[in-house]
A and B are shown apart, each in its own frame.
Chain A
Amino acid sequence: MGLAVPRFWREIPYRYNLIGSRCRVCNRIFFPPREVCPYCRRKSLGKMEEMKLKGRGKLITYTIIYTPPSNFENQVPYAVGIVELDEGPRITSQIVDCDPEKLRIGMRVEAVFRKIQEDGDTGAIYYGYKFRPVGEDEDKGETG
């Protein structure tokens, strides 16, 4: 991608472990973490604390990408969705390990650890979260 590694490196805690933030004034939870709560603003300064999100949630909407950006060509067609985490925040992510045709809004999903992009075959590899559908009866997973 031609961008220096530090740009990706500094996001590692958030992308590997779904670290978000909570506003201690209104208790709203955000992902990615925010420095200022958009509801409490001034009152939230110094009162935003990091918290780990469990990585469980439900699918709010999704698409199946047929015309991908560079670096995603070999995954076409692949699903991308907006997931509403159980703690509240919404997150954009690929939805993997599924037949994209069988996805539906409201489906339960859980976070998995996957390769997101790589900078060609000589550059760095960037990892992070994706989500996969879980059966209603299947409540076990790597983020548990």
Chain B
Amino acid sequence: MMNIGIVSYGAYIPMNRIRIEEIAETWGRNPDDIKKGLNVFEKTVPSPDEDTATISVTASRYALSRVNIDPKDIGAIFIGSESHPYAVKPTSTIVGEAISAVPELMAADYEFACKAGTAAIQNCMALVRSGMIRYGLAIGADTAQSAPGDALEYTASAGGAAFIIGKEKVIARINCTCSFATDTPDFWRREARKYPKHGGRFTGAPAYFRHIIGAAKLLMEKMKTKPEDYDYAIFHQPNGKFPVTVGKRLGFDRKQLEQGLLTPYIGNTYSGSSPLGLCSVLDVAKPGDRILMVSYGSGAGSDAFDITVTDEIENFDRDKAPTVRELMERKRYISYAIYAKYRNLLYWE
């Protein structure tokens, strides 16, 4: 089997944080109930000058800084997001230009709620395997929108991760990937609408849990693996509870989840969610470590990945870019009023 996988990776989250207390108190809710209910304590907030394009560029530059790859050898850039700065006009060309990968470049923006970033990884894998490209850059990034006062406001955050996919000097081999998708409208945003709508508790059992469990089981059947074969497991993390619950149902324990579970302190970065979890695992992984990652995108579908960390990671310059933990530590807290200003919740003529 051809060794295809992750050649490098980079993560980025904005440095602004808002605490659950700030949001809850604005809307007259008890913050303890929310923190307990969601297992989320704070979330990232993009600065007014940050968007999915800037997050993608930063994560991609971090990925490139860890390896010695000519950006011109990147043949494809795919960015998964549900907050592309333009409805029509690709984010991927902005990134392509900013990392000097243009003009011989396949570039496209993906959308599949929170799993478009992992779909980008799969497509890059296919292009590398077919020989159409040498390296592909797959990005999942978002500056997630949430209506003021909506339950999503406690979690919708910003961040992203970029992966250089290739077959040379692979630090994490992707042994297998498979997907599970059905038409399940649990969460959506209509064309030209600013904020998404969701089905409340319907987003749980028939949506998140069914698809993640479906994809994970499919993958483990194909690979003939059991939960205990994995050192780390990462599940899409819309809040701090769902991934723990789904892990438990699948037979994973908390220790396998810990390193990749970021939502309690950064919120739900949507398309960046499971990819950032994977970055956090790669920040500490050792040769031979085996990783299960399952994303989830509303609407609905999951992409599952079986990954093995290779010996190459020993030669890999992880220190050339900040780790997810380092990014999490760079922070400044903002009030709800500043949040409202940054997120354009205040209107004036």
Contact = CB atoms under 8 A, between A and B. Distances in A.
> Do A's and B's CB atoms come within 8 Å in the complex?
yes
B58 A125 contact: no
Nearest to B338: A74
Contact of A75 (B15, B49, B94, B319): B49
A97 interface: yes
Nearest to B100: A17
Interface in A84-119: 94, 96-97, 99, 112-116
B49 A96 contact: yes
A142 B65 contact: yes
A62 B47 CA distance: 20
B49 A130 contact: yes
A74 B342 contact: yes
A115 B49 contact: yes
B65 A141 contact: yes
Interface SS of A by simple majority: mixed
B36 interface: no
Given A74-B342, A144-B65, A115 B319 contact: no
A75 B54 CA distance: 16
A127 B98 contact: yes
Nearest to A16: B98
A93 B107 CA distance: 30
B48 A113 contact: no
A113 B319 contact: no
Contacts of B62: 142
B325 interface: no
Interface in B284-343: 319-322, 330, 332, 341-342
A10 interface: no
B320 A127 contact: no
A74 to B, nearest CB: 5
B85 A125 contact: yes
Contacts of B65: 140-144
A141 B94 CA distance: 19
Interface in A46-95: 74-75, 94
B49 A114 contact: yes
B61 interface: yes
Contacts of B48: 74-75, 115
A114 B344 CA distance: 17
A36 interface: no
Given A96-B49, A97-B15, A99-B332, A113 B86 contact: no
B97 interface: yes
Given A13-B97, A144-B320, 20 more contacts: A16-B98, A17-B97, A17-B98, A74-B342, A74-B344, A75-B47, A75-B49, A96-B47, A97-B330, A113-B57, A113-B61, A114-B50, A115-B54, A125-B85, A127-B53, A127-B54, A140-B65, A142-B10, A142-B57, A142-B62
22 contacts: A16-B97, A16-B98, A74-B48, A74-B342, A74-B344, A94-B49, A97-B15, A112-B58, A114-B49, A115-B50, A127-B54, A127-B98, A140-B65, A140-B322, A141-B65, A142-B10, A142-B58, A142-B61, A142-B62, A143-B65, A144-B61, A144-B65
Q: Which 8 pairs show the lowest CB-CB distances between chains A and B? A: A142-B61, A144-B65, A114-B49, A113-B57, A115-B49, A16-B98, A74-B48, A142-B58
Interface of A: 12-13, 16-17, 74-75, 94, 96-97, 99, 112-116, 125, 127, 130, 140-144
Interface of B: 10, 15, 47-51, 53-54, 57-58, 61-62, 65, 85-86, 94, 97-98, 100, 319-322, 330, 332, 341-342, 344
